[in-house]
Chains A and B, each alone.
Chain A
Amino acid sequence: MKLHNISLGNIQRRKGKMLFLVLGLVMGISTVVTLVSITESMTWNIEQRLNQFGANIVMVPKSDRLSLHYGGINVGGVNYQVREFDQKKLSDIRTIKNHKNLSIIAPKVLGPVTVKNKTVLLMGVVFEQELALKTWWHKSAGRFPERENDVMLGSRAAALLGYKVGDTIRLSDRAFNIAAILRPTGASEDDAIMVSLIAGQTVLGKEGKLSMVEISAFCQGCPISEMTLQIAEKFPHAKVTAMKQAVMSKMQSIEMFKSFSLGVSILVILIGSLLVMVTMMGSVNERTREIGIFRAIGFRRGHVMQIILLEALLLGIIGGIMGFVTGNLMACSLIPMVIKDGVFAGINSTLGIVSLFMAVALSLLASLYPAVKASNMDPSEALRAL
C-alpha cells in the first residue's frame, strides 16, 4: 500500500467523473494540437509550393540612371542599354549566411536583337531554373527548350513576327529552332525571345555577363530583408531588391491565423482547466470523510495533497496522450477543408511531448486549489461530515 494505490483506486472507482475531467484536458490539448498542426501544415504547404510566388529577391547591376519605367510604360523610348555583371562571381551567393534558404537562382542576360527588321528583347535564361521559378508559364505549343539551339517565343513576339513551332529563326546569323511558344502571361516575356543563357550571351556578345538574377528564397519566417543585405554585401556592384509582397501577404495570413489560434487556445484551455478544477473540487468534497479518515490514521496534510495531485498527474498523462491523438485526427480531417490542396504535415513528436507536459501542468495547476483545500480540512470536522 502506497499513496499511489489510493489515487489509482479512486480513479477506478469514479470513472465517470474522472472521464469528465480527462475530457476537459482532451478538449484543451486537442484544440491546441489541431491549431498548431494546421498552422504548421499551412506553412509547410506554402514552402512546398514556394515557387508559385516567383522570385522574392532580384539582383540587377547598380545604375546611376533613374528609372524611366512606370506601370510597364517605358517613357525613355526603346532603350535596351543594359549593364551587366560577371557570371563567375554568382556562385558567391551560396556563401551567404542564410544560403540554406536560397531555393532557386535564375540568372539571365538581356539585350536587343533584330529579327525581320524588328527590334526584339532577347532573354538568355537557364530554362531549368526559369521554369521552376515561373510556374505560371505554360506553352501553347511545342516542348520547352532543351537543346542549345532551341528557342521559345513569347506569345506577342510570335504573333507579330509570324512564327510558329518548328520554324527556324535567325538571331545574328545563328539559326535556332523554335521549340515552344508561351501562352500570354501579361508580363514582359510576351514580347521576348528566350534562348539558353550561353546562346543568349553569344548572340548578344555578352559572354560571361549577366543582366539580372532572380532569386527565390523561402522558409518559415524567412529573413528576406536580411538575406537581401547579405547578398548585397557579397555583390557591391549589384542592386539587390526584396520583392516581398507575395510571400509577406501569405505569411501575414498565417500570422493572423496564429494570433487567432492563440486566442482560441487560451480560451479553450481556460475552459478546460475550469472543468478540471470543478471536477476535482467535487471529488474532494465527496471524499471529505475519506480525507478525515486519512488524517485520523496518521496521514499528514502533505500526504493528502500528494494523493490528489497524483490523481491529477495520472489524469494529466491520460488527457495529454488522448488530447494529442484527438488533435492529430482533427487536424488530419480539417486540413483538407481549411487549406486548398492542403496536406497534413505529419505527426510532430515535439508537439506530442509539449502537449503531454502541458496537460500534466494544466491538470496539476487546476487541481492545486482542491488539493490544498483537501489537505487543510479539519480532520474532526471531516469525519463528522455525512
Chain B
Amino acid sequence: MTQANHLIEVHGLNKAYLNGDTRVEAIKQMDFFIDDEEFITLMGPSGSGKSTLLSILGGLNHPNQGKVFIDSLDLYALTAEQRADFRSEYIGFVFQSFQLIPYLTVLENVTLPMAVTGQKKKVKTQMAMTVIDRVGLGTKALRLPDQLSGGEQERVAIARAIVNKPPLILADEPTGNLDSKTAKDIMILLQSLNTDGHTVVVVTHNADMEAYASRCIRVQDGKCFV
C-alpha cells in the first residue's frame, strides 16, 4: 500500500470537531504523500485546518476517518502509549508560541525529550549541547526562557525538536510571532536541518516562506491542493 520513498502517506483523512451543537469539518477527505527529505510548507488561511492536519500527522490527534502511514507504520492503529513512543522517536514538534517550560533552563528544556529515553546523563547533556550550539545559543544554555528574545526562544524550541534526531520535524507557524528578519533566520535554520536529512513540514500563512520549501501543499476549507 505504501511506497518505499514516501515517508508520509495520508489516505481519505477526515476530522470533524463538535463545537457545542455545530459540527466543524476541519479536514475533509484529504489524500497526499510526503517524501523522505522533503521540505514542505502547508499554506492556507486561518481556520483552514492546517494545525489539525499537523497534529494528526504527529500522532497527537485521532482522525475520524482515513489512515496516516509514517514510514509504513499505520499511526492510528497503534495504542496511545505506542504513539507516545513513536513521537519520541520519529517526530520533532515546533510550536507557534515556542511552548518552552518556563521553570527549566535552555539546557533543561532541550534535554526534556530525553527524560523518557535511556541514555546516560552525560550523553544527554552532550547531545543537548550539540543541538544548542547548532541553533547558535551555546552561550545561553543556562538561561531561563524569559531571559531570551522571541527568536532565541524559537531556536530553543527547534533545538528541543531535533535533540532526539527525529526523521520528521513538524512546525506550526514557527515564524508567526517573529519579525521578518528573525523569521527568515528561522526558515534558514529549518532549511539547513532539511539539508542535514530531516524531513520538514512547516505550517505558515506567509507566502514569503514558500521560497524556502521544496514543495507547497495548499490547504483551504479542510481540503488540500498538492
**Which residues of A line the B interface, CB within 8 A?**
1-3, 5-6, 9-10, 12-13, 289-290, 292-303, 378-380, 383
Residues of B within 8 A of A12 (CB): 103
Contact of A296 among B87, B101, B102, B116 (CB under 8 A): B87
B217 within 8 A of A: no
Query: Which residue from chain A places its CB closest to the CB of B160 in the assembled complex?
Result: A297
List 6 A-B pairs, minimum CB-CB distance, nearest first.
A298-B88, A1-B111, A13-B103, A380-B61, A380-B55, A300-B84
Separation of A6 and B112 alpha carbons in the complex (Å): 9
Apart from A9-B101, A298-B87, list 6 A-B contacts with CB within 8 A.
A1-B108, A6-B104, A290-B101, A297-B112, A298-B164, A379-B60
Separation of A272 and B84 alpha carbons in the complex (Å): 35
CB pair A383 B164 closer than 8 Å: no
Query: Which residue from chain A places its CB closest to the CB of B102 in the assembled complex?
Result: A13
Query: Which residue from chain B places its CB closest to the CB of A303 in the assembled complex?
Result: B116
Residues of A within 8 A of B112 (CB): 1, 6, 294, 297
Separation of A292 and B58 alpha carbons in the complex (Å): 13
CB pair B102 A297 closer than 8 Å: no
B81 within 8 A of A: yes
CB pair B93 A296 closer than 8 Å: yes
CB pair B58 A296 closer than 8 Å: yes
Residues of A within 8 A of B101 (CB): 6, 9, 290, 293
Known: A1-B115, A296-B58, A300-B116. A9 touches B164 (CB 8 A): no
B89 within 8 A of A: yes
Query: Which residue from chain B places its CB closest to the CB of A302 in the assembled complex?
Result: B81
Closest approach, in angstroms, between the C-beta of A204 and any C-beta of chain B? 89
From A6, A9, A292, A298, name the one whose CB has the most chain B CB atoms within 10 angstroms: A298
Residues of B within 8 A of A5 (CB): 104, 108, 115
Closest approach, in angstroms, between the C-beta of B119 and any C-beta of chain A? 10
Residues of B within 8 A of A302 (CB): 81
**Which residues of B line the A interface, CB within 8 A?**
52, 55, 58, 60-61, 80-81, 84-89, 91, 93, 95, 99, 101-104, 108, 111-116, 121, 124, 128, 160, 164
Closest approach, in angstroms, between the C-beta of A384 and any C-beta of chain B? 8
Separation of A380 and B58 alpha carbons in the complex (Å): 10
Separation of A111 and B139 alpha carbons in the complex (Å): 103
Residues of A within 8 A of B55 (CB): 379-380, 383
Residues of A within 8 A of B114 (CB): 1
Separation of A293 and B124 alpha carbons in the complex (Å): 19
CB pair B102 A295 closer than 8 Å: no
Residues of B within 8 A of A3 (CB): 115-116
Closest approach, in angstroms, between the C-beta of A221 and any C-beta of chain B? 52
CB pair A289 B99 closer than 8 Å: yes
Residues of B within 8 A of A299 (CB): 84, 88, 115-116
Residues of B within 8 A of A13 (CB): 102-103
Closest approach, in angstroms, between the C-beta of A294 and any C-beta of chain B? 8
Separation of A298 and B58 alpha carbons in the complex (Å): 10
Residues of A within 8 A of B95 (CB): 293, 296, 383
Known: A1-B111, A1-B124, A383-B99. A297 touches B104 (CB 8 A): no
Contact of A295 among B52, B84, B103 (CB under 8 A): B84
Residues of B within 8 A of A300 (CB): 81, 84-85, 116
From B58, B95, B115, name the one whose CB has the most chain A CB atoms within 10 angstroms: B115
Separation of A85 and B128 alpha carbons in the complex (Å): 92
Query: Which residue from chain B places its CB closest to the CB of A6 in the assembled complex?
Result: B115
Query: Which residue from chain B places its CB closest to the CB of A290 in the assembled complex?
Result: B101
Separation of A174 and B101 alpha carbons in the complex (Å): 99
Residues of B within 8 A of A379 (CB): 55, 60-61
